[in-house]
Chain A
Amino acid sequence: MSKLGAVFGLITILLFQVDKPRKKGFIERGHLICEEYRNKTFCKALSFYEKKQYDSCYAYSAKALLLTKNEEEVNYLNFIQGYSAFKKKLYKKALLNFHAIKDKDENVLEKQILLGSVYLNLKKYNESITHYEKALEEEPEALRKKNVYHNLGLNYIHKKEYQKAKEYFKKEYELIKKNDTIALIATKMELANVYYNQYLDDEAIPLFKEAYDLAKSFSDLELKQNSTRNMAVVEKNRKNYQKSIEYYMEYGNWKDSIWNRDKIWELTEKDKQLAVAQKQQEIVLQEEELKRQAIVQKSLVIGASGLLVFLGFLGYFYRELKSKNKFITQQKEELNVANKTKDYLFSVVSHDLRSPINTIKRQHEKLKRQLKNKEYDAVSETTNNAIALTESTSHLLNNVLHWSLEQNNQLSFKAEEYPLKPLVEQAVYNFEEIAEAKNIALTTMLEATILVKADKESLKIVLRNLLDNALKYTGENGEIAIKTYNDSEEFSTIEIKDTGFGISEEKLTKIKGLEDLSIDKINRSEGVGLGMLLCQTLIKKNNGKLLIDSELEVGTTIRILLPNASA
């Protein structure tokens, strides 16, 4: 039994000698097919076969087999798929592939050998023997023939037909070249096994010993192990336990070193896997990190844009508020002006109007009395007084009205071209009677051709005020001369010259200062009336100028410069 165990151990090892036949030629043939038909799947299967990646080779050749009907390709694919299946120990599948190969000259030998080895592996020794014998008929070259002999020998060992086995091993032995140590050792061991199984110990033991010695000096670990084990079994059977134990121990050592070799390989593989796993984990971690960074970036962007929008809104509201505030401030200022105007009007009504109206009332009462007493001479004077008073009050009222309208921007204003002469004439016309009454010589010297650009109504107001002043401050028998003349391209002048009391230097400065004076700065007690203020304002509005020259007790000359009509 123990001998048999040793034999089985040998089979598996030796089997692999069988089929790496004609490898070079075989692959070259594949390349030729690949180039000839340019079948991509085929080429791929071939390249995997070349690289010994049998899984991929198997898959691709299966695919290629489905796609192609070309006999040459099919045969070749069956070879490589079958071989891949064989490598993967799918013996049944390998059988199917190999059987499918057509018996052509270049294929037969190969097919028989491969079938032989598959059957050997399947422990169908008879079939194996048949195929190997067929292979021998094809007369393979020496190396293959040797292998075939070897495997035939193995088959016979298993069938316990030792005689036949011995014959084949001997044939093989003859074929082995002297320098092929591995094959020599193996064959020697097989032969020794054959002898040993036939209990031909004298023949067997030297052969075992020989194999063992050869293996000792050789580097193949498995050969060493097997030969050592064989020696151990042999020594044990010879009851030479001391030796047997030594062999076993040696066997153990070899086994360990094989195991170590495998183990180391495995460990490195494990290490590699671990390293790969670690790397992958790192990659995953880094990806996570990247993802997190992306999220952070995204949220930053969103946050920033949100902030921007928020700021925009803030700015918008701020501006809105500011413009509102500005509007309110503007309104406040307008209201202030309106309020000041109103205050001024109140004060005018309460002071300047109340007293003259009272005076008029008294005049009328006086008139009534005088009529009752039939003092007819006095009536005329009282009436004249009343008329004069009414006139001045009406004048004041007009000024107040015009002023307030102007202040509220309610005064209609439309500058047009007018002949200056009739405008002045009309203004003067109003004062002819008063001048006559005061015995003042009112003379005019007006140029007929002057055209000015002005607003008629405002010019009227100005002229009325200035003429009123002139008459008021000119005593009896005085003179008022009104002239118009054209003194430049740009302006025409209205000159009102009186021989009145004149205006003091001090007051003149004040009047000149009125140009940019608003109502709230008027101090009515200072005696500069609304009339002058109105004149300044309206002349300015007409793009004109108001010039005043005065000398106390000599008279005043007022010049109004108005822009000429552009025609």
Chain B
Amino acid sequence: MKKLQLLLLEDLEEEALELSSFLEDNDYEVSLAKNAVEAEKLIRNRFFDVIILDIMINGRPDGISLAHRLNKEGINVPFLFLTSMQGREIFDEAKLTNPLVYLLKPYNKLELLFSLELAIESCYQQNNSISLASDNGVISPAFLFIKKKRSVVKVDVAAINYVEVKEKYCSIICDSGNYLIKLSLTKLKDMLSNPDFRQVHRNYLVNVKKIKEIYFEDNLIVLDNDEKILFSERYKTAFIKDNTIFR
């Protein structure tokens, strides 16, 4: 499990420090930027899971213009606005950047944590998952986001053993636990688009790296942790064709 990397754009030092210490207390790693230029530089050099933007930076709506630039460059990072500006004008302008969340000051700490959850959910189109229940998760191409107490942490997708269909949605099974993802298996496969994950059954998607043994005759896959997964005839042929080792 890894901590989320956050970028905080805030021009008021006191608030920035208070906020970052609070976030760090809640298992987030925070990078601070005092202005838009600094923030942009950081975004180019490092990976961030969520970006928190104050709208008014040194008296100018730099937060909004930065969001515009991010959208333009197609940088798909969830960002949320943090502001005391409640007027419709600013709000409408901010709305044009499609912010995932818009958090108004004064807010309490729970609201901030909640907003981070909302931002992640809506960025990967899995609304009302981790914000609704702690056994839900949000999947992104590289990470699985899950709740840990009040905060969100991430797990590398490589740590996933397999995925099982659960009614409308899917359950992800890791060593650390099971998480419900509010996506269909097809959509989840698209989201991952990772060759390590192979469908072996109508209901199963397996991380190939986690396979210990395959019993073709018995239609059974045994994983490293000795879990057994059904292997259906339908997917076997394609599986063998793509994985020459097994021939």
Interface residues of A (CB under 8 A from B): 394, 398, 401-402, 405, 409-412, 417-419, 421-423, 425-426, 429-430, 448-449, 451, 457, 460, 565
Contacts and interface: CB of A to CB of B under 8 A. Distances in A.
B109 interface: yes
Interface in B62-92: 86-89, 91-92
A565 B128 CA distance: 11
B247 to A, nearest CB: 46
A16 to B, nearest CB: 119
Contacts of A412: 86, 88, 91-92, 102
Contacts of A421: 132
Given A426-B110, A426-B114, A429-B110, A448 B86 contact: no
A421 B91 CA distance: 26
A405 B128 contact: no
Contacts of A429: 108-110
B1 to A, nearest CB: 22
B104 interface: yes
Nearest to B127: A417
B245 interface: no
Main secondary structure of the interface of B (DSSP, over half): mixed
Nearest to B129: A419
Most chain A beta-carbon neighbours within 10 Å: one of B89, B109, B128: B128
B88 A448 contact: no
A460 B102 CA distance: 13
Nearest to B111: A426
Contact of A451 (B86, B102, B114, B132): B132
B133 interface: yes
Most chain B beta-carbon neighbours within 10 Å: one of A419, A421, A425, A451: A419
A520 B86 CA distance: 24
B128 A417 contact: yes
5 contacts: A410-B89, A412-B92, A418-B128, A425-B110, A449-B132
Most chain B beta-carbon neighbours within 10 Å: one of A410, A412, A449, A451: A412
Contact of B104 (A419, A422, A451, A457): A457
Interface string B86-118: 111101100000000010101011110010010
B110 A409 contact: no
Contact of A410 (B88, B104, B133): B88
B53 to A, nearest CB: 17
Contacts of B92: 412
B128 A430 contact: no
A394 B127 CA distance: 33
Interface in B118-135: 127-128, 131-133
A412 B102 CA distance: 11
B229 to A, nearest CB: 30
B139 to A, nearest CB: 19
A448 B136 CA distance: 12
B158 to A, nearest CB: 30
B88 A409 contact: yes
A398 B84 CA distance: 11
A411 B88 CA distance: 6
Contacts of A418: 128, 131
A451 B127 CA distance: 11
Interface string B189-213: 0000000000000000000000000
Given A402-B86, A412-B86, 11 more contacts: A398-B106, A409-B88, A410-B87, A412-B88, A417-B127, A419-B128, A426-B108, A449-B132, A457-B86, A457-B104, A460-B111
A409 to B, nearest CB: 7
A76 B88 CA distance: 113
A40 to B, nearest CB: 93
